Chain A
Amino acid sequence: MIGYLIQRLLTVAGILVVMSLLVFGITQVMPGSVAHMILGEFATNDQIAALEQTLGLNDPWHVQYWRWASGFLVGDFGQSLTMQRPIAPLILDALGRSAALAGLSFGFVAVIGLWLGILGAVKAGRFTDHALAIGQYFFIAVPEFFWCIVLIMLFATTLGWLPATGYAPMSDGFWRWLSHMVLPVGTLVTGLIAHVSRLTRSAMLEVLQSTYVSAARAKGLPERTVLWRHALPNALLPAITVLAVDVGILFGGIVVVEVVFAYPGLGRMIVYAIENKDLPLMQAGVLIVTAIYTMANLVADLLYAWANPRIRYGRSVA
């Protein structure tokens, strides 16, 4: 178990180093120099050269990389080119708002998705199962960027129940905050719930076919016990893996949703940085998101190991 943990941590560290190199490399291949971007099109060559000197852009790439990466380690993410402000606090704010969106969505997906998956497996072949299957087919196929438009048209434009876009901080009151969260979260969860419930259903069905479930039935245990005590814990193992994969999909959805709902989160900030060629901001954003995603995967792996007696407990007692 310790070997496993160390191996995983080393991998995570390796991934972050490689990713930071990759992200940093982009500055090197980007057409046009950073100094050029800061000073605008009418800058003279002298001005550019001077700025390049001050920014250290003439240093060898590994010196520049080290300067940038070591800043990261102590929380200095550099200056935003377009906003002329330190990046760290900007990102921290945006990150908090994105986290609220992601956390809320992920909670719904985990709870509802697993529950619907189990329901489908238990009712396999019956009406409930078929109804769920049709819903899953539909919601897996609807892209977030279209689904949120449909939701806005329905609940904001036509019914006028909810605000179409924007964000209200919690300090403006819980209900106001919540009303701005409903549509973004609603957009994000539908597809993922469909995905999670579908895969949970098949995992559960497979477990229900196993000999130990037959053996539990042969012991005369009530079906409820067979289901919840014998089948579910074993079906949850593959579900953990599915949920981890879905975190990645969720991130993609968050970017789109934040753009459409004008939600001031990290995703929108990265898209803004790309559109405005604000390199330092983009680098920091991408690196932070990658780090979070890698951590989420690490947590999923550890959870898996912990939930699996084969990994948690060694071998051979008798």
Chain B
Amino acid sequence: MSAPAGQDQGGAPLLDVHGLTVEYATGRGNLRAVDGASFAIAPGRALGIVGESGSGKSTVAMTLLDLLGPEAGMSAERFTFEGEDLLDPVAARRKALRGHRIAMVFQDPGSALNPAIQVGRQIAEPLIRHRGMTQTQAAARVQELLAEVGIPRPADVAAAYPHQLSGGMKQRALIATALGCEPRLMVLDEPTTALDVTIEAQILDLLEQLRGKHDLSILFVSHNLGVIERVCDDVCVLYAGRVVEQGAAAQVFAAPAHPYTRGLLGSLPRPSAQRLSRLTPIPGRLPDLTRAPAGCIFAERCEHAEAGCGKPQEPRALADGRTVRCWKAEAIAAGAPPTQAMAEAPPDAGPAAAGAPGTTDAGALIAVDAVGKTFRLGGMLAGLRFDFSGGFPLRTDPPKVRAVDGVSLRVRPGEVVGLVGESGCGKSTLGRLILRLIEPSDGRIAIDGHDVTGASVAALRPVRRLAQMVFQNPDSSLNPRQTIGQIVRRPLELFGIARGAEAQAKVVELLGMVRLAPEYAQRYPHQLSGGEKQRVSIARALATSPKFIVLDEATSALDVSVQAAILNLLADLRDRLGVAYLLISHDLSVIAHLADRVAVMYRGAVVEEGPSAQVLAPPYHPYTEALLSAVPVVGLKDRAAQRVRLKGALIGGGAVRGCRFADRCPRRIGPICDTETPPVVEPAPGHRIACHLPLEALRAVPPVFGAAAPHA
């Protein structure tokens, strides 16, 4: 091992790790999950560890707190914290650091809090353990901590059980727990991945503020490059257990010197009004870590690979202080930055952009009119309760949720409509309502002129052929007991499109359309990677030559480098086949990348709708503005100066009076927001915003993404 990993910040690093290796014994030999990782964190600095799934990034975080099980074989040449050896053979001394001077925040706040213990008591535990506080002292300190992490009613939250808190609240409580003993180093393992983007922004703000106040050092693990850039000073890019590039975050993101870092950045879709014509995905898949190649671990997926890459690659320092594990690093860093490959505004933003966007039904493939869905919760007696205000004292009042509330939407042939919103806003329900996987409670839906709202199963059949769906989870959307061939073939037979040898040929053709080789027909889903499974799902949806496909978070479960390939594929298919998409996603970047028109949903209703370029630039609905300013985007860190933040979290259910966004709105004008249904203003034809604010006020809002965005 060469190259000291510590940044030259002067003084001894707080954490110094050199040559960290973690191995697991498997039936097929040793699996090296982390291989010779070296890094250091100076006091007060924040180091980001970034990588895709399988990179070993969480394993690194776990080693710091000694949380790996006995089956993991860990070794390191040097592993010190504040000068103390973390590899101390005396386990007790290692453990003394946990929770006290090193604290950890886990990914999923829902499972990191013990469901059987009150939140306050859980926060108090390390205080009592490490600080020797009494129960009363600790309880008082818990209230202070909860207040410090921005929890409005600390006493109530301390007395609550975890299931009574929202995700964002739980994560705040966990941060309070970690802060309790005033640790020097805080390890955060994907702390915002399970949260909605507006809540993520709140948590990142909180971290920034706490860091300044407590002189905290941070080790931040994430797959999200934007989040890492926002939080961290230094960054360490991990691929297949090896650190491939590390250095100051600004340098690494501006001019990546390792082909993998470049690949990651090139794969990222951006939520700007200007559209990248194509993303550059990374081909291939992670190597088998039990049989790692002798040479560069990334060589087989690298576009710069050549003969010299067969030699083992060691980390080496570049002139600018970075460490890169590639012998061609200088040449690669000098190349054009992948992020600037911004194309001219797309030559044709989909066939639909040409036609005048309007409310007219003429030519609409999908027409959704005032559709609503109310779910009843619980069983027959779930709402049973006593009521002594008169009449029979036992009432049943089943709890109901209005998941979709009077939504109208048009999708024209060949058009991509993006539907964006946070979890629980009703976007997935709407997608399923359109395909009648769920029965609508009210409203009307027509597909290609056929009213499907009341149609019988038989009457629905021809329509089913026209409208298909691709689901979110590649692991559950293919029947594990059928081969890929059978899966793709089934719709052909069901609709009598092709039989026998003809069907066989058609399957091969469909697989070809999603760029899978014909051999895949014989394989089973578990033999495929996530991206390949998603391609099969798309092929299955295309089998009936549909005119319309609902893509329900179709790329959300994928790594960015794989997502990029699927997004490219979807764009190509749209151009070739003229198929229309309803693209449902929580990720504005994905929506902005592919959609011709965007609808923004909040609590069951569409609050803004219009052509992409117009929705992504002012005038905005205040919720759209908040969403845009919450998305962490690489290369747009400066935007932080003017960001808008939402209070609280989305609360679902119930009927709404006034504006449904009023309670969280940063631009709320007054009581009118709570009482009156907001009017719909139309700043441009086809661009509609439901808000009480006058149009001039909305137009006056500065664009979230600098001046670059053109006015539509």
Residues of A within 8 A of B (CB): 2-4, 6-7, 210-212, 214-222, 225, 229-230, 233-234, 309-310, 313-318
Looking at the complex, which one of A219, A229, A313 makes contact with B117 (CB distance below 8 Å)? Answer: A229
> Which chain B residues numbered 98 to 140 have a C-beta less than 8 Å away from chain A?
98-100, 103-104, 106-108, 111-117, 125-126, 129-130
Contacts of B177 in A (CB 8 A): 219
Q: What 3 A-B pairs are tightest by C-beta distance, nearest first?
A: A220-B99, A3-B384, A220-B98
Contacts of A212 in B (CB 8 A): 111-115
* 152-174 of chain B: CB within 8 A of chain A: 152-153, 156-157, 159-161, 163-166, 169, 174
Judging by beta carbons under 8 Å apart, are A310 and B384 in contact? no
Known: A217-B67, A220-B126, A234-B116. Contact between A7 and B381, CB under 8 A?
A: yes
Q: Are A211 and B108 in contact (CB under 8 A)?
A: yes
In the complex, how many angstroms separate the beta carbon of B38 from the nearest chain A beta carbon? 23
Nearest opposing residue in chain A for B151, CB measure: A318
| B497 at the A interface (CB under 8 A) | no
CA of A315 to CA of B652, assembled, Å = 13
Cβ contact within 8 Å between A218 and B115: no
A48 and B381 CA atoms in complex are apart in Å by 50
Which of B96, B117, B157, B174 counts the most A-chain CB atoms under 10 A from its CB? B117
- Size class of B's contact patch? 35 or more
B104, A218: Cβ atoms under 8 Å? yes
Minimum C-beta distance from A209 to chain B (A): 9
A318 with B381: CB separation less than 8 A: no
* CB of B351 within 8 Å of the partner chain: no
Given A314-B164, A317-B165, list of 18 further CB < 8 A pairs?
A: A2-B386, A3-B381, A3-B385, A210-B111, A218-B65, A218-B104, A219-B98, A220-B97, A220-B100, A220-B130, A225-B125, A230-B117, A234-B114, A309-B116, A310-B163, A317-B156, A317-B164, A318-B164
For A233, list chain B residues within 8 Å (CB).
116-117
Cβ distance A133 to chain B, nearest Cβ, rounded Å: 19
Q: How far, in angstroms, from A216 to B174 measured CA to CA in the complex?
A: 11
> Known: A3-B381, A317-B156, A317-B157. Is A215-B116 also a contact (CB below 8 A)?
no
Which residue of chain A is the closest to B154 with respect to CB atoms?
A318
Chain B residue numbers with a CB within 8 Å of A221 are 99, 125-126, 129
Chain A nearest CB from B498 CB (Å) reads: 47
CB distance from B375 to the nearest CB of A (A): 16
- Tell me how many residue pairs across A and B have CB atoms closer than 8 Å: 113
Minimum Cβ distance to chain B for residue A152 (Å): 44
Q: Provide the residues of chain A in CB contact with B394, threshold 8 Å.
A: 6
A210 and B130 CA atoms in complex are apart in Å by 23
Q: Is B291 an interface residue (CB 8 A)?
A: no
Contact of B160 among A211, A215, A218, A318 (CB under 8 A): A318
Specify which chain B residues have a CB less than 8 angstroms from the CB of A220 in the assembled complex: 95-100, 126, 129-130
Interface hits, B383-428 → A, CB 8 Å: 383-386, 394, 396
Return the chain B residue nearest A211 by Cβ.
B111
Q: Among A7, A219, A314, which residue has its beta carbon within 8 angstroms of that of B384?
A: A7
Residues of chain A lying within 8 A (CB to CB) of residue B117: 229-230, 233
Chain B residue at minimum C-beta to C-beta distance from A3? B384
On chain B, the residues within 8 Å of A234 by CB distance are 114-116
A66 to B503, CA, bound (A): 67
A-B contact pairs, 16 of them (CB 8 A): A214-B67, A215-B114, A216-B125, A217-B65, A217-B67, A218-B106, A220-B126, A220-B129, A220-B130, A233-B117, A309-B115, A309-B161, A310-B115, A313-B164, A317-B160, A318-B151
- Other-chain contact of A318, B107, B130, B156, B384 (Cβ < 8 Å): B156
- Are A3 and B382 also in contact (CB < 8 A) when A218-B99, A221-B129, A309-B115 are? yes
CA gap between A203 and B129 in the complex, in Å: 28
Q: Is the CB of A215 within 8 A of B165?
A: no
Quote the shortest CB–CB distance from B386 to chain A (angstroms).
6
State whether A318 touches B169 (Cβ < 8 A): yes
| Docked CA distance A6–B395 (Å) | 12
Encode contact with A along B74-110: 1 for CB under 8 Å, 0 otherwise: 0000000000000000000001111110011011100
